[in-house]
Amino acid sequence: MSIGYSTDHEQQWSEVDHYVEQKLIPTDPVMQEVLDNNHQADLPPFDVSPVQGQFLQLLIRMSGARRILEIGTLGGYSTIWMARALPTDGRIVTLELDQHHADTARANFELAGVTPQIELRQGDALEQLAWLEEEQVEPFDFIFIDADKPNNPHYLKWALHFSRRGTVIFSDNVIREGEIINRHSSDPRIKGVRTFYDMLADEPRITATAIQTLGSKGYDGFMIGIVNEDVQTPVADLE
């Protein structure tokens, strides 16, 4: 199954994003340099757009978050957007599989002056999440899931485990150009996101919705939910 749209549509979406960015997002040479660094380091172009980055900031400010967990750092562009929304005593734990990506992100954090607020853990995210459990970390106020989609169901289990009543869970790339409605898809990313939706549908501890988005990043969307209770998932159920 494919969703049809033209190159003209894609160009218009990008132009609208650019218009909104010009009107509402202050010019920031540091953030542009971060994107340039990611490009020069040959990182995949999966960063959120500036409009999406400011949206993340607004969510964090509205929720009053002080502790953030990010699953999927890439070059740290989204991490910096979120760090800038935190109070001075706020902190982000961000997880990145790839050593090269992590090294690029650390350099970007230094450039943006947010290193003291960020703990970057390099390695397999599921292993790092298990280590966080071993360390008995406190619940997080805001959790951003933006990593490999086949593991989204596992990331959701861990996100609920590290949540409290009122924690906001946000996940990007959950529309996949509309392919999520294709129940016959063999793409592991689509299958992972569809299982993610199934879990959300059956999970009383979170109230969630999803929004389709069009813009410079194409046709996709995000899920946002709020955790309704404090009960944590038993560790045995996270395997």
Residue 168's contacts (CB-CB under 8 Å, 6 or more residues apart) are: 59, 63, 65, 141, 142, 143, 224, 225, 226, 227
Q: In sequence order, what DSSP letters do the residues of 45-112 get, joined into one string? A: S-PPPHHHHHHHHHHHHHHT--EEEEE--TTSHHHHHHHTTS-TT-EEEEEES-HHHHHHHHHHHHHH
Q: Would you say 195 and 149 are in contact if contact means Cβ atoms under 8 Å apart?
A: no
Burial 178-202 (b: 16+ CB within 10 A, else e): bbbebeebeeebbbbbbbbbeebee
- Asked if residue 119 is part of any domain, the answer here is yes
Structure letter (DSSP) for residue 147: S
> What average pLDDT does the segment 5-27 reach?
89
CATH number at residue 26: 3.40.50.150
What pLDDT does 233 receive?
Answer: 63
Query: What is the rounded average pLDDT for all residues in the chain?
Result: 94
- Asked if residue 78 is part of any domain, the answer here is yes
What pLDDT does 3 receive?
Answer: 52
d(CA 168, CA 65): 9
- Condensed to tens digits (0 to 9), the pLDDT of residues 221-236 reads 999 999 998 766 665 5
What pLDDT does 1 receive?
Answer: 41
Residue 232 vs residues 35, 148, 180: alpha-carbon distances, Å = 37, 24, 28
- Asked if residue 236 is part of any domain, the answer here is no
- Condensed to tens digits (0 to 9), the pLDDT of residues 72-119 reads 999 999 999 999 999 999 999 999 999 999 999 999 999 999 999 999
- Asked if residue 199 is part of any domain, the answer here is yes
Strand partners, 210: 223
pLDDT at position 56 over 50? yes
d(CA 111, CA 125): 25
Strand partners, 169: 143, 225
- Asked if residue 232 is part of any domain, the answer here is no
What pLDDT does 7 receive?
Answer: 78
Burial 132-151 (b: 16+ CB within 10 A, else e): beeeeeebbbbbbbbbebbb
- Asked if residue 120 is part of any domain, the answer here is yes
Tokens of 141: 């106020």
What pLDDT does 2 receive?
Answer: 45
Q: Would you say 109 and 115 are in contact if contact means Cβ atoms under 8 Å apart?
A: yes
Domain membership of residue 30 as a residue range? 7-227
What pLDDT does 4 receive?
Answer: 56
The residue assigned the tokens 């994003």 is 17
CA 180 to mean position of chain CA atoms:
18
- Asked if residue 47 is part of any domain, the answer here is yes
- Asked if residue 98 is part of any domain, the answer here is yes
Confidence of residue 15 (pLDDT cuts 50, 70, 90): very high
> What average pLDDT does the segment 109-131 reach?
98
pLDDT at position 176 over 60? yes
Residues above pLDDT 90, as percent of the chain? 89
| Residue 185, SS3 per DSSP | coil
Query: How many domains does the structure of the chain reveal?
Result: 1
> What average pLDDT does the segment 50-68 reach?
97
What pLDDT does 229 receive?
Answer: 86
